[in-house]
């Protein structure tokens, strides 16, 4: 039986099935996990996708990734040194595997040993000041000397400075696009410099061109893989503040470097400090804060699927009652179960049907809403 989070070693056949499932239409990381838990394996889930989408109200069957397409992606990845790794396998950052929406498969290039070491994220403004860039370089270098791997998003500005300064000690770039579509393109040489002692990871197909909505998805991987996130220069409503928010939701430490109240690039970091982020003026501030966390073992989520998987199709009245309780405002799944007066399994199946039909959106904290 497949399991989306237990310490595992996938067979070639399982890896292809997992890739087919996560590359199929309307299947994201949370849906993937729900399907595995419901049906016991990716192969069984793939067989049920068309029927689930139809019952969820889809006008047409969603695209299902074929065996040929999956085999092509695996082969193309191997040619450029990309391995597809699952949570619990060597090369999958262990802390990333603990988040609710951990990618079932992560495309990884570079040094797998670096992925297992403690990581600190450094993010910040693309249009950074000279002082901000200098501090990012100093902090990244000192944290690398303390044997932390620096993880960031390969963006211009603060990300670039942090990667460059920590390359010799180990630095990991998280890509918003696929491994064949590096963004920004001028950072391809920087990425190559990282691969000897660090690496690059992406959950996207190899040729995927990054879109605006892909950057928040990338940001959750940056924060999820790290012990904590250091924000250096972030204007109000910047992507770095999204990363900080995700870090807090994931239970990671949030650090912020103070700046002049006259510089709009410091408005976001100063606000983070007011909201309780740890103020950082030197590497020791970060090291001392994460030391107690490093002493605790990393516990991957326990497998939820059972060896004998039962599937009871909801009846029309239960389905109608659950759909009637859903709307554009997010609601907790536990509340749905209580209000609908049906079993948790029934609610999970109906939510799967709606999601595969493209009618449901999942939010953090177990919340769902209708699209």
Tell me: pLDDT of 305 over 50: no
pLDDT at 7: 55
DSSP calls for 267-334:
HHHHHHHHTTPEE-SSHHHHHHHHHHHHTSPP-PPPP---SS----PPPHHHHHHHHHH--SS-EEHH
**Given pLDDT bands bounded at 50, 70 and 90, which one contains residue 306?**
very low
Q: What is the pLDDT of residues 254-289, one digit of tens each?
A: 999 999 999 999 999 999 999 999 999 999 999 999
pLDDT at 308: 41
Tell me: pLDDT of 21 over 70: yes
Q: Which of 145, 123, 332 is nearest to 221 (CA)?
A: 123
Q: What is the pLDDT of residues 165-221, one digit of tens each?
A: 999 999 999 999 999 999 999 999 999 999 999 999 999 999 999 999 999 999 999
The SS3 assignment for 60 reads: coil
End-to-end CA distance of the chain: 33
Q: Where are the alpha helices (DSSP H) in the chain?
A: 12-22, 29-39, 42-55, 67-79, 112-115, 130-145, 158-166, 188-194, 214-225, 239-249, 267-274, 283-294, 316-325, 333-340, 344-356
The answer to whether the CB of 204 falls within 8 A of the CB of 174 is: no
Distance CA 277, CA 350 (A): 39
The SS3 assignment for 184 reads: coil
Distance CA 325, CA 327 (A): 7
Distance CA 9, CA 14 (A): 9
With tokens 């990054």, the residue in question is 210
Q: What is the pLDDT of residues 60-76, one digit of tens each?
A: 878 999 999 999 999 99
**b/e map of 37-61 (b: 16 or more CB within 10 Å)?**
bbbbbbbbbbeebeebbbbbebeee
The answer to whether the CB of 204 falls within 8 A of the CB of 75 is: no
What's the mean pLDDT when you consider all of the chain?
93
pLDDT at 309: 53
pLDDT at 312: 66
DSSP β-ladder status, 83-85 and 106-110: antiparallel
Q: What is the pLDDT of residues 140-156, one digit of tens each?
A: 999 999 999 999 999 99
Q: Average pLDDT in the 113-118 region?
A: 95
The answer to whether the CB of 106 falls within 8 A of the CB of 214 is: no
What count of other Cβ atoms lies within 10 Å of the Cβ of residue 187?
Answer: 20
């Amino acid at each position: 039986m497949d399991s989306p989070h237990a310490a595992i070693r996938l067979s070639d056949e399982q890896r292809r099935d997992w890739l087919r499932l996560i590359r199929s239409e309307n299947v994201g990381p949370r849906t993937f996990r729900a399907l595995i838990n419901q049906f016991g394996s990716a192969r069984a889930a793939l067989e049920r996708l068309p029927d689930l989408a139809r019952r969820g109200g889809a006008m047409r069957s969603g695209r299902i990734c074929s065996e040929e397409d999956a085999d092509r992606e695996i082969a193309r990845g191997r040619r450029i040194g990309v391995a597809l790794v699952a949570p619990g396998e060597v090369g999958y950052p262990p802390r990333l595997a603990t988040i609710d929406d951990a990618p079932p498969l992560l495309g990884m290039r570079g040094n797998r040993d670096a992925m297992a070491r403690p990581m600190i994220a450094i993010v910040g403004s693309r249009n950074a000041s000279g002082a901000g860039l200098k501090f990012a370089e100093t902090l990244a270098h000192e944290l690398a000397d303390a044997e932390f791997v620096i993880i960031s998003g390969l963006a211009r500005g603060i990300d670039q400075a942090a990667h460059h300064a920590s390359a010799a000690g180990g630095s990991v770039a998280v890509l918003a696009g696929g491994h064949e579509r590096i963004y920004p393109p001028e950072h391809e040489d920087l990425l190559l410099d990282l691969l000897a002692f660090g690496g690059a990871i992406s959950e996207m197909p190899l040729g995927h061109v990054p879109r605006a909505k892909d950057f928040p998805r990338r940001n959750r991987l940056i924060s999820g893989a790290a012990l904590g996130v250091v924000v250096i220069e972030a204007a109000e409503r910047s992507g770095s503040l999204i990363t900080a928010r995700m870090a807090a939701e994931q239970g990671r430490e949030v650090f912020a470097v103070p700046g002049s109240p006259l510089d709009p690039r410091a408005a976001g970091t100063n606000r983070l400090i007011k909201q309780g982020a740890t103020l950082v003026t030197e590497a020791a501030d970060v090291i001392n804060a994460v030391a107690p966390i490093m002493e605790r073992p990393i516990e991957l989520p326990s497998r939820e699927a059972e060896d004998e998987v039962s599937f009871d199709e909801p009846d029309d009245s239960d389905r109608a009652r659950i759909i009637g309780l859903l709307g554009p405002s997010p609601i907790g799944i536990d509340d749905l179960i209580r209000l609908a007066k049906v079993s948790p399994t029934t609610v999970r199946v109906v939510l799967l049907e709606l999601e595969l039909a493209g009618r449901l959106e999942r939010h953090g904290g177990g919340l769902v809403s209708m699209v």
